[in-house]
Structure 1
Protein backbone atom coordinates (compact mmCIF):
# COMPACT_ATOMS: atom_id res chain seq x y z
CA UNK A 1 0.00 0.00 0.00
CA UNK A 2 2.80 2.43 0.83
CA UNK A 3 4.20 2.07 -2.72
CA UNK A 4 0.83 3.13 -4.16
CA UNK A 5 0.79 6.19 -1.91
CA UNK A 6 4.24 7.20 -3.14
CA UNK A 7 3.37 6.85 -6.83
CA UNK A 8 1.94 10.39 -7.27
CA UNK A 9 4.96 11.95 -5.57
CA UNK A 10 7.41 9.95 -7.68
CA UNK A 11 5.52 10.85 -10.86
CA UNK A 12 5.62 14.52 -9.89
CA UNK A 13 9.36 14.34 -9.27
CA UNK A 14 9.94 12.59 -12.60
CA UNK A 15 7.94 15.25 -14.45
CA UNK A 16 9.80 18.06 -12.69
CA UNK A 17 13.17 16.55 -13.58
CA UNK A 18 12.13 15.99 -17.19
CA UNK A 19 11.19 19.63 -17.58
CA UNK A 20 14.70 20.68 -16.55
CA UNK A 21 16.41 19.15 -19.59
CA UNK A 22 19.17 21.59 -20.57
CA UNK A 23 19.62 22.76 -24.12
CA UNK A 24 22.90 23.71 -25.69
CA UNK A 25 23.61 26.16 -28.46
CA UNK A 26 26.13 25.19 -31.08
CA UNK A 27 29.00 27.63 -31.39
CA UNK A 28 28.81 30.10 -34.25
CA UNK A 29 25.08 29.75 -34.81
CA UNK A 30 22.96 32.67 -35.83
CA UNK A 31 19.78 31.02 -34.59
CA UNK A 32 19.12 27.91 -32.56
CA UNK A 33 16.05 26.08 -31.37
CA UNK A 34 15.78 26.65 -27.61
CA UNK A 35 13.19 23.94 -27.00
CA UNK A 36 14.38 21.03 -24.82
CA UNK A 37 14.88 17.65 -26.45
CA UNK A 38 12.63 14.95 -25.02
CA UNK A 39 13.82 11.40 -24.48
CA UNK A 40 11.53 10.18 -27.26
CA UNK A 41 12.84 12.66 -29.82
CA UNK A 42 16.62 12.47 -29.68
CA UNK A 43 17.03 13.36 -33.32
CA UNK A 44 20.32 14.80 -34.57
CA UNK A 45 20.90 18.50 -35.10
CA UNK A 46 19.98 19.86 -38.54
CA UNK A 47 22.25 22.70 -39.70
CA UNK A 48 20.47 24.78 -42.34
CA UNK A 49 22.37 27.09 -44.70
CA UNK A 50 20.07 29.69 -46.25
CA UNK A 51 19.71 33.29 -47.37
CA UNK A 52 18.62 35.57 -44.53
CA UNK A 53 15.62 36.91 -46.43
CA UNK A 54 14.13 33.60 -47.59
CA UNK A 55 10.66 33.13 -46.10
CA UNK A 56 9.98 29.67 -47.55
CA UNK A 57 13.22 28.43 -45.96
CA UNK A 58 11.94 29.64 -42.58
CA UNK A 59 8.67 27.77 -43.17
CA UNK A 60 10.61 24.56 -43.98
CA UNK A 61 12.70 25.03 -40.82
CA UNK A 62 9.51 25.23 -38.75
CA UNK A 63 8.28 22.02 -40.44
CA UNK A 64 11.51 20.23 -39.45
CA UNK A 65 11.34 21.59 -35.89
CA UNK A 66 7.71 20.48 -35.58
CA UNK A 67 8.91 16.96 -36.51
CA UNK A 68 11.20 16.97 -33.46
CA UNK A 69 14.55 18.03 -34.91
CA UNK A 70 16.76 20.64 -33.31
CA UNK A 71 17.76 23.19 -35.95
CA UNK A 72 20.67 25.58 -36.24
CA UNK A 73 20.34 28.25 -38.92
CA UNK A 74 23.31 29.75 -40.71
CA UNK A 75 22.46 32.70 -42.91
CA UNK A 76 24.82 32.80 -45.88
CA UNK A 77 25.40 35.27 -48.69
CA UNK A 78 26.53 32.61 -51.18
CA UNK A 79 25.28 29.03 -50.90
CA UNK A 80 27.18 27.68 -53.92
CA UNK A 81 30.39 26.76 -52.02
CA UNK A 82 28.30 24.84 -49.47
CA UNK A 83 26.36 22.98 -52.17
CA UNK A 84 29.66 22.07 -53.88
CA UNK A 85 31.28 20.95 -50.60
CA UNK A 86 28.47 18.57 -49.65
CA UNK A 87 27.97 17.23 -53.18
CA UNK A 88 24.65 18.61 -54.46
CA UNK A 89 24.62 17.63 -58.16
CA UNK A 90 24.34 20.39 -60.76
CA UNK A 91 20.74 21.10 -61.65
CA UNK A 92 19.43 19.57 -58.41
CA UNK A 93 19.67 22.66 -56.23
CA UNK A 94 17.05 24.53 -54.27
CA UNK A 95 16.93 27.54 -51.96
CA UNK A 96 18.58 26.00 -48.88
CA UNK A 97 21.02 23.23 -47.98
CA UNK A 98 20.93 21.35 -44.69
CA UNK A 99 23.39 18.98 -43.08
CA UNK A 100 22.30 16.25 -40.69
CA UNK A 101 24.30 13.37 -39.24
CA UNK A 102 26.69 13.00 -42.18
CA UNK A 103 24.11 13.58 -44.93
CA UNK A 104 22.96 16.65 -46.81
CA UNK A 105 19.34 17.57 -47.44
CA UNK A 106 18.76 19.94 -50.35
CA UNK A 107 15.49 21.83 -50.59
CA UNK A 108 12.00 21.29 -49.25
CA UNK A 109 12.37 17.60 -48.36
CA UNK A 110 9.66 16.37 -45.96
CA UNK A 111 10.86 15.62 -42.42
CA UNK A 112 9.49 12.07 -42.72
CA UNK A 113 11.95 11.43 -45.55
CA UNK A 114 14.82 12.77 -43.43
CA UNK A 115 13.82 10.43 -40.59
CA UNK A 116 13.68 7.51 -43.03
CA UNK A 117 17.14 8.41 -44.39
CA UNK A 118 18.56 8.44 -40.87
CA UNK A 119 16.86 5.16 -39.96
CA UNK A 120 17.93 3.29 -43.10
CA UNK A 121 21.41 4.89 -43.35
CA UNK A 122 21.97 4.17 -47.07
CA UNK A 123 25.46 4.54 -48.52
CA UNK A 124 24.79 7.94 -50.06
CA UNK A 125 25.54 11.65 -49.79
CA UNK A 126 22.02 12.83 -49.12
CA UNK A 127 18.62 13.80 -50.42
CA UNK A 128 17.57 16.41 -52.99
CA UNK A 129 14.27 17.93 -53.91
CA UNK A 130 15.14 20.11 -56.90
CA UNK A 131 13.34 23.40 -57.33
CA UNK A 132 10.55 24.45 -55.04
CA UNK A 133 7.48 22.27 -55.76
CA UNK A 134 4.14 23.69 -54.67
CA UNK A 135 2.79 21.70 -51.75
CA UNK A 136 6.16 20.55 -50.42
CA UNK A 137 6.96 21.56 -46.81
CA UNK A 138 7.47 25.31 -46.71
CA UNK A 139 5.89 25.73 -50.14
CA UNK A 140 2.28 25.13 -49.16
CA UNK A 141 -0.29 27.00 -51.22
CA UNK A 142 -3.04 28.99 -49.46
CA UNK A 143 -5.64 27.31 -51.66
CA UNK A 144 -4.25 23.83 -50.91
CA UNK A 145 -2.88 23.20 -54.39
CA UNK A 146 0.07 20.88 -54.70
CA UNK A 147 2.04 19.26 -57.46
CA UNK A 148 3.54 15.78 -57.39
CA UNK A 149 7.26 15.65 -56.63
CA UNK A 150 10.00 13.10 -56.14
CA UNK A 151 12.69 13.27 -53.47
CA UNK A 152 15.91 11.76 -54.84
CA UNK A 153 18.75 9.94 -53.10
CA UNK A 154 22.20 11.14 -54.18
CA UNK A 155 24.90 8.47 -54.36
CA UNK A 156 28.60 9.01 -53.78
CA UNK A 157 29.11 9.13 -57.55
CA UNK A 158 26.60 12.01 -57.85
CA UNK A 159 23.95 9.83 -59.48
CA UNK A 160 20.39 10.01 -58.22
CA UNK A 161 17.51 7.58 -57.75
CA UNK A 162 13.95 8.03 -56.52
CA UNK A 163 13.74 7.90 -52.72
CA UNK A 164 10.09 8.87 -52.24
CA UNK A 165 7.19 10.23 -54.24
CA UNK A 166 4.69 12.73 -52.91
Structure 2
Protein backbone atom coordinates (compact mmCIF):
# COMPACT_ATOMS: atom_id res chain seq x y z
CA UNK A 1 0.00 0.00 0.00
CA UNK A 2 2.78 2.27 -1.05
CA UNK A 3 2.03 5.97 -0.75
CA UNK A 4 -0.69 5.56 1.89
CA UNK A 5 -0.39 6.51 5.54
CA UNK A 6 -0.76 3.65 8.03
CA UNK A 7 -4.35 4.77 8.69
CA UNK A 8 -5.05 4.91 4.93
CA UNK A 9 -3.54 1.47 4.40
CA UNK A 10 -5.62 -0.01 7.22
CA UNK A 11 -8.75 1.63 5.78
CA UNK A 12 -7.97 0.20 2.32
CA UNK A 13 -7.55 -3.26 3.84
CA UNK A 14 -10.83 -2.92 5.71
CA UNK A 15 -12.63 -1.92 2.50
CA UNK A 16 -11.16 -4.98 0.79
CA UNK A 17 -12.34 -7.10 3.72
CA UNK A 18 -8.83 -7.99 4.90
CA UNK A 19 -7.27 -7.92 8.32
CA UNK A 20 -3.93 -6.10 8.70
CA UNK A 21 -1.03 -8.39 7.83
CA UNK A 22 -3.14 -10.59 5.53
CA UNK A 23 -2.70 -10.77 1.79
CA UNK A 24 -5.42 -10.85 -0.82
CA UNK A 25 -4.71 -14.55 -1.33
CA UNK A 26 -5.57 -15.22 2.32
CA UNK A 27 -9.13 -14.06 1.70
CA UNK A 28 -12.04 -16.23 2.66
CA UNK A 29 -14.67 -16.85 0.02
CA UNK A 30 -17.70 -19.04 -0.68
CA UNK A 31 -17.83 -21.71 -3.38
CA UNK A 32 -21.21 -23.07 -4.49
CA UNK A 33 -21.03 -26.51 -6.10
CA UNK A 34 -22.93 -29.76 -6.42
CA UNK A 35 -22.02 -32.71 -4.20
CA UNK A 36 -20.55 -35.11 -6.75
CA UNK A 37 -18.31 -32.81 -8.75
CA UNK A 38 -14.68 -33.90 -8.41
CA UNK A 39 -13.21 -31.16 -10.61
CA UNK A 40 -14.84 -28.53 -8.36
CA UNK A 41 -13.12 -30.06 -5.36
CA UNK A 42 -9.81 -30.09 -7.28
CA UNK A 43 -10.23 -26.35 -8.00
CA UNK A 44 -11.04 -25.64 -4.35
CA UNK A 45 -7.88 -27.56 -3.32
CA UNK A 46 -5.77 -25.48 -5.71
CA UNK A 47 -7.23 -22.28 -4.30
CA UNK A 48 -6.36 -23.49 -0.80
CA UNK A 49 -2.81 -24.20 -1.98
CA UNK A 50 -2.65 -20.61 -3.25
CA UNK A 51 -3.51 -19.37 0.25
CA UNK A 52 -7.24 -18.76 -0.14
CA UNK A 53 -9.71 -19.99 2.47
CA UNK A 54 -12.72 -21.35 0.56
CA UNK A 55 -15.94 -22.29 2.32
CA UNK A 56 -17.91 -24.80 0.26
CA UNK A 57 -21.69 -24.77 0.07
CA UNK A 58 -23.27 -27.82 -1.56
CA UNK A 59 -26.37 -27.02 -3.63
CA UNK A 60 -28.68 -29.18 -5.70
CA UNK A 61 -28.77 -26.75 -8.62
CA UNK A 62 -26.48 -23.85 -9.49
CA UNK A 63 -29.01 -22.04 -11.71
CA UNK A 64 -30.43 -20.00 -8.80
CA UNK A 65 -26.93 -19.13 -7.59
CA UNK A 66 -25.89 -17.93 -11.05
CA UNK A 67 -29.07 -15.91 -11.39
CA UNK A 68 -28.51 -14.26 -7.97
CA UNK A 69 -24.94 -13.29 -8.94
CA UNK A 70 -25.80 -12.24 -12.53
CA UNK A 71 -23.71 -14.88 -14.31
CA UNK A 72 -24.86 -15.09 -17.97
CA UNK A 73 -26.14 -18.58 -18.83
CA UNK A 74 -23.71 -18.96 -21.73
CA UNK A 75 -20.76 -18.58 -19.31
CA UNK A 76 -21.98 -21.17 -16.81
CA UNK A 77 -19.45 -23.65 -15.47
CA UNK A 78 -19.63 -26.30 -12.77
CA UNK A 79 -19.15 -24.06 -9.71
CA UNK A 80 -19.67 -20.45 -8.70
CA UNK A 81 -17.60 -18.63 -6.07
CA UNK A 82 -18.07 -15.25 -4.44
CA UNK A 83 -15.14 -13.28 -3.01
CA UNK A 84 -15.17 -9.66 -1.81
CA UNK A 85 -18.33 -8.91 -3.78
CA UNK A 86 -17.11 -10.46 -7.03
CA UNK A 87 -18.35 -13.64 -8.65
CA UNK A 88 -15.77 -16.17 -9.87
CA UNK A 89 -17.39 -18.62 -12.28
CA UNK A 90 -15.68 -21.87 -13.17
CA UNK A 91 -12.06 -22.97 -13.30
CA UNK A 92 -10.44 -19.54 -12.93
CA UNK A 93 -6.71 -19.60 -12.12
CA UNK A 94 -5.77 -18.31 -8.66
CA UNK A 95 -3.55 -15.63 -10.20
CA UNK A 96 -6.56 -14.21 -12.06
CA UNK A 97 -8.53 -14.03 -8.81
CA UNK A 98 -5.54 -12.27 -7.23
CA UNK A 99 -5.41 -9.79 -10.14
CA UNK A 100 -9.16 -9.14 -9.85
CA UNK A 101 -8.86 -8.35 -6.14
CA UNK A 102 -5.80 -6.19 -6.69
CA UNK A 103 -7.29 -4.21 -9.61
CA UNK A 104 -10.85 -3.95 -8.19
CA UNK A 105 -12.48 -3.20 -11.58
CA UNK A 106 -16.08 -2.02 -11.88
CA UNK A 107 -17.39 -5.49 -12.77
CA UNK A 108 -19.58 -8.37 -11.67
CA UNK A 109 -16.60 -10.72 -11.62
CA UNK A 110 -14.61 -13.12 -13.79
CA UNK A 111 -15.36 -16.41 -15.51
CA UNK A 112 -13.76 -19.29 -17.35
CA UNK A 113 -16.69 -20.69 -19.31
CA UNK A 114 -17.10 -24.43 -19.68
CA UNK A 115 -14.45 -26.83 -18.48
CA UNK A 116 -11.30 -26.35 -20.59
CA UNK A 117 -8.72 -29.13 -20.37
CA UNK A 118 -5.72 -28.00 -18.35
CA UNK A 119 -7.51 -25.22 -16.47
CA UNK A 120 -7.11 -25.39 -12.66
CA UNK A 121 -8.98 -28.47 -11.49
CA UNK A 122 -9.23 -29.77 -15.06
CA UNK A 123 -5.69 -31.11 -15.43
CA UNK A 124 -5.33 -34.02 -17.82
CA UNK A 125 -3.35 -37.18 -16.98
CA UNK A 126 -1.34 -36.80 -20.19
CA UNK A 127 -0.57 -33.13 -19.44
CA UNK A 128 -2.53 -31.88 -22.43
CA UNK A 129 -4.28 -28.56 -22.22
CA UNK A 130 -6.31 -26.27 -24.39
CA UNK A 131 -6.00 -22.52 -24.61
CA UNK A 132 -8.66 -20.67 -22.63
CA UNK A 133 -9.57 -17.16 -21.56
CA UNK A 134 -10.73 -15.66 -18.32
CA UNK A 135 -13.47 -13.15 -19.05
CA UNK A 136 -14.33 -10.03 -17.09
CA UNK A 137 -18.11 -9.94 -16.51
CA UNK A 138 -19.64 -6.50 -16.89
CA UNK A 139 -23.18 -5.18 -16.36
CA UNK A 140 -25.80 -5.96 -18.97
CA UNK A 141 -24.22 -9.28 -19.98
CA UNK A 142 -21.21 -7.57 -21.52
CA UNK A 143 -17.77 -9.09 -21.12
CA UNK A 144 -14.19 -8.59 -22.18
CA UNK A 145 -11.01 -10.63 -22.02
CA UNK A 146 -9.33 -10.43 -18.61
CA UNK A 147 -6.51 -12.96 -19.18
CA UNK A 148 -5.37 -15.54 -21.75
CA UNK A 149 -3.99 -18.93 -20.79
Would the TM-score normalized by the shorter structure come out above 0.5?
Answer: yes
For 2:27, the equivalent position in structure 1 comes to: 44
> What is the correspondence of 1:58-77 to structure 2 with a 5 Å cutoff?
58-77=41-60
1:142 equivalenced with 2:125 (yes/no): yes
Count how many residue pairs are aligned between Structure 1 and Structure 2: 130
Q: Give a deviation string over 1:15-63, Cα, whole Å, max 9, x none.
A: xxxxxxxxxxxxxxxxxxxxxx9x4545321200000110000000001
User: Please, what is the CA RMSD of the aligned residues?
Assistant: 1.5
Secondary structure of the 1:157 match is helix
TM-score, normalising length: structure 1: 0.75
Please identify the structure whose Cα radius of gyration is greater: 1
Indicate which of 95, 120, 134 corresponds to 2:103.
120
Structure 1: gaps spanning 5 or more residues? 1-36
TM-score, normalising length: structure 2: 0.83
Runs of 4+, deviation exceeding 6 Å: none
> What is the correspondence of 1:1-166 to structure 2 with a 5 Å cutoff?
39-41=21-23, 43-166=26-149
Secondary structure of the 1:115 match is helix
Structure having the larger proportion of residues in strand:
2
Question: Does the Cα contact within 8 Å between 1:129 and 1:152 map onto a contact in 2?
Answer: yes
